[in-house]
């Protein structure tokens, strides 16, 4: 017999359930890259360790039968949500500690384990609470709100951090650089720099006051660069490190920081008055006088992540309380057994002896092979300095792009995917969805080679295209997993095996993505990602899918 609120509209709880499900995964797997990049951790290091954090999602089958038969999926959902909310607050506080990197990695590991358990319960709850047609209809909705969560992680959280960074730390400094012909260029002598400690909070110092950069002239002068110097007016507080970043913000693209030039510097009590050198270079095609505007910032990065992760924790707490009230109580409340070795064996035998298991395994492991690597490098690429080959977005710009146009396009793609799947069935649409998910990765090749300015329309259109394609294309993955599990006795546990294989397919490529990027650079890395989408698409040729799956039946 159905329990209390068993017939509550899925619109009341599917969006909130899957919005919550996407948050911890997105923070641990993606936004952590932005956090660690801005905190000065190398891409190769955090790409490796955050990929290791895929393990809880990859090993879900080890405890999924326990969740399937002990207590209820509803109880598992509520209690893991409360734990995750509290842990994010702890991660925010840990950002203030000297050993923040290993400590937050450990906290993210706890979040990953809790989130993986939550995923098992949430997916099982979805299958028990909805019939097959409603599962197909709402798969686009759940995928969309899952992606909403990702955009919250990629958009709102960095936006909050960017606002805090802009309004904390040292006063930002803006300056203009002007190109000049060689005869008008006068190099600055760093021996003229004399820094005397000033009372009060440190200021950013820049030398020289007027900045000119020589234009390259074939056969006349090979000089195309000028050097500027940055220091502080006073030492930071004891034990404090002030991180200074320099980036071009507007004006001519023909004056910029060279790609091999470091644009992030750390000042402490021992080197605050030792000027660091930064080169500015003119493009060799530049033939006339022009200007470019640069900005030097030194916001309190650690504090910004403390605030944003703390806000996220409170948001998740409120959402957990809402879900505790709104989730229906389907008949799964009465499905309880003692966990035994026999149960584990039955689950695995049922999953791995289904017809078409080899093709299904290839699909689960390879469908996201390109994305697994892209997701680790895309965020650092978008916020990396232009001198290092990135786009140079600030945390706030990154948040705005993903939180506005990206969210709209994701919504349209995800909802459209679910509606069309419920109307035409998975078999007819899976190829269209696969192409929609993988082909838009080409926008990163364009961004890497063209390097449009952060405010250019091309950046917005690229992100919009990628988000729409992902929203539409990921529906195929979710639907096939539901189809493969079908009406198995332990469908919650079997679904967890499928998602764990997906996590394994994300973890292993992600672990080496940082090394691949460092070896071949952004441009060739994104070409490599496109090549990696091919195996997953080829696996679709061998899938056996019932043409009627997802279509409305008379008894529905």
Give pLDDT tens digits for 244-264. Answer: 888 888 888 789 888 667 677
> pLDDT tens digits for 218-247?
877 788 999 999 999 999 888 777 888 888
Would you say residue 366 has pLDDT above 60? yes
| Per-residue pLDDT band at 91 (split at 50, 70, 90) | very high
| Per-residue pLDDT band at 332 (split at 50, 70, 90) | low
- In order of their start, the domains of the chain are 10-167+302-542 (1.20.1250.20), 173-298 (2.60.40)
- Among the ranges 13-22, 68-77, 232-241, which has the highest mean pLDDT value? 13-22
For the segment 273-298, the average pLDDT, to the nearest whole number, is 90
Omega of the bond prior to 393 within 30 degrees of 0, cis? no
> pLDDT tens digits for 398-407?
777 776 677 7
Residue 179's pLDDT is 93
Least confident of 77-86, 444-453, 477-486: 477-486
> pLDDT tens digits for 129-153?
877 677 777 776 777 787 778 777 8
Residue 277's pLDDT is 93
Least confident of 94-103, 472-481, 517-526: 472-481
Would you say residue 177 has pLDDT above 90? yes
> pLDDT tens digits for 20-52?
998 998 898 878 888 887 787 877 788 888 888
* Helix residue spans in 71-153 (DSSP H): 73-94, 100-129, 132-151
CA distance 267 to 245: 11
CA dihedral over 429, 430, 431, 434, signed as positive or negative: positive
Would you say residue 378 has pLDDT above 80? yes
Residue 2's pLDDT is 46
When the pLDDT of each residue in the chain is averaged and rounded to a whole number, the result is 84
Would you say residue 496 has pLDDT above 60? yes
| Per-residue pLDDT band at 106 (split at 50, 70, 90) | very high
Specify whether the backbone of 287 is left (phi greater than 0), alpha (psi in -120 to 50) or beta: alpha
| Per-residue pLDDT band at 554 (split at 50, 70, 90) | low
Least confident of 74-83, 197-206, 304-313, 455-464: 455-464
| Per-residue pLDDT band at 114 (split at 50, 70, 90) | very high
Residue 1's pLDDT is 41
Q: Measure CA 483 to chain center.
A: 28
Would you say residue 556 has pLDDT above 60? no
Would you say residue 538 has pLDDT above 80? yes
If you write DSSP's letter for every residue of 443-494 in order, what string do you get?
HHHHHHHH---TTSHHHHHHHHHHHHHHHHHHHHHHHHHHHHHTT-TTHHHH
114, 90, 17: which is closest to 320 by C-alpha? 17
> pLDDT tens digits for 163-172?
888 778 888 8
Tokens of 300: 């309190």
Residue 84 · residue 316 · CB < 8 Å: yes
CA distance 497 to 58: 8
Residue 485's pLDDT is 79
Residue 231's pLDDT is 95
| Per-residue pLDDT band at 335 (split at 50, 70, 90) | very low
| Per-residue pLDDT band at 530 (split at 50, 70, 90) | very high
Tokens of 159: 């936006």
Would you say residue 175 has pLDDT above 90? yes
Would you say residue 3 has pLDDT above 70? no
Token look-up 């035409």 returns 424
Would you say residue 527 has pLDDT above 80? yes
| Per-residue pLDDT band at 126 (split at 50, 70, 90) | confident
Residue 334's pLDDT is 47
| Per-residue pLDDT band at 276 (split at 50, 70, 90) | very high
pTM, full prediction: 0.64
- Give the rounded percent of residues in the chain with a pLDDT score beyond 70: 92
Least confident of 106-110, 186-190, 243-247, 256-260: 256-260
For the segment 342-356, the average pLDDT, to the nearest whole number, is 81
For the segment 92-115, the average pLDDT, to the nearest whole number, is 92
292, 518, 278, 302: which is closest to 395 by C-alpha? 302
């Amino acid at each position: 017999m159905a329990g209390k609120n068993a017939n509550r509209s899925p619109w009341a709880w599917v969006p909130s359930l899957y919005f919550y499900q996407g948050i911890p995964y997105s923070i641990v797997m993606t936004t952590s890259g932005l956090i660690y990049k801005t905190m000065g951790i190398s891409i190769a290091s955090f790409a490796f360790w955050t990929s290791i954090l895929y393990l809880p999602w990859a090993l879900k089958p080890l405890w999924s039968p326990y969740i399937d038969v002990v207590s209820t999926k509803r109880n598992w959902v509520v209690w893991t949500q409360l734990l995750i909310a509290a842990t994010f607050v702890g991660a925010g506080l840990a950002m203030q500690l000297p050993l923040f990197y290993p400590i937050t990695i450990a906290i993210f590991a706890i979040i990953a384990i809790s989130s993986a358990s939550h995923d098992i319960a949430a997916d099982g709850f979805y299958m028990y609470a909805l019939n097959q047609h409603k599962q197909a209809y709402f798969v686009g909705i759940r995928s969309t709100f899952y992606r909403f969560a990702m955009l919250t992680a990629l958009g709102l959280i960095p936006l909050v951090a960017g606002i805090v960074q802009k309004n904390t730390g040292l006063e930002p400094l803006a300056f203009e650089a002007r190109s000049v012909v060689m005869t008008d260029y006068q190099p600055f002598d760093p021996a003229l720099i004399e820094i005397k400690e000033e009372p009060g909070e440190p200021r950013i110092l820049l030398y020289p006051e007027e900045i000119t950069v020589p234009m390259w002239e074939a056969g006349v002068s090979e000089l195309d660069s000028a050097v500027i110097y940055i220091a502080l007016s006073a030492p930071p507080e004891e034990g404090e490190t002030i991180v200074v970043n320099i980036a071009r913000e507007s004006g001519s693209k023909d004056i910029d920081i060279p790609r091999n030039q470091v644009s992030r510097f750390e000042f402490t009590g021992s080197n605050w008055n030792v000027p660091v050198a930064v080169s500015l270079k003119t493009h060799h095609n530049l033939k006339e006088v022009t200007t470019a505007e640069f900005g030097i910032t030194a916001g309190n990065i650690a504090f910004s992540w403390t605030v944003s992760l703390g806000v996220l924790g409170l948001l998740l707490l409120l959402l957990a309380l809402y879900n505790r009230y709104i989730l229906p109580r389907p008949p799964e409340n009465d499905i309880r057994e003692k966990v035994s070795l026999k149960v584990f064996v039955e689950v695995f035998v049922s999953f791995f002896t289904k017809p078409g298991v080899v093709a299904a395994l290839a699909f689960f492991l390879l469908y996201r092979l390109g994305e697994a690597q892209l997701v680790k490098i895309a965020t650092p690429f978008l916020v990396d300095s232009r001198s290092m080959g990135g786009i140079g977005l600030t945390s706030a710009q990154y948040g705005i792009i993903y939180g506005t146009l990206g969210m709209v396009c994701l919504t349209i793609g995800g909802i459209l995917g679910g509606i069309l799947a419920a109307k035409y069935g998975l078999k007819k649409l899976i190829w269209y969805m696969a192409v929609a998910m993988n082909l838009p990765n080409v926008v990163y090749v364009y961004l890497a080679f063209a390097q449009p300015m952060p405010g250019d329309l091309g950046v917005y259109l690229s992100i919009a295209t990628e988000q729409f394609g992902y929203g539409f294309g990921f529906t195929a993955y979710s639907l096939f997993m539901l189809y493969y599990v079908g009406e198995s006795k332990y469908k919650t546990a079997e679904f967890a095996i499928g998602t764990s294989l997906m996590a394994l397919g994300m973890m292993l490529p992600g672990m080496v993505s940082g090394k691949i990027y460092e070896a071949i650079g952004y441009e060739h890395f994104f070409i490599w990602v496109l090549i990696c989408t091919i195996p997953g698409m080829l696996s679709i040729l061998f899938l056996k899918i019932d043409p009627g799956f997802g279509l409305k039946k008379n008894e529905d």
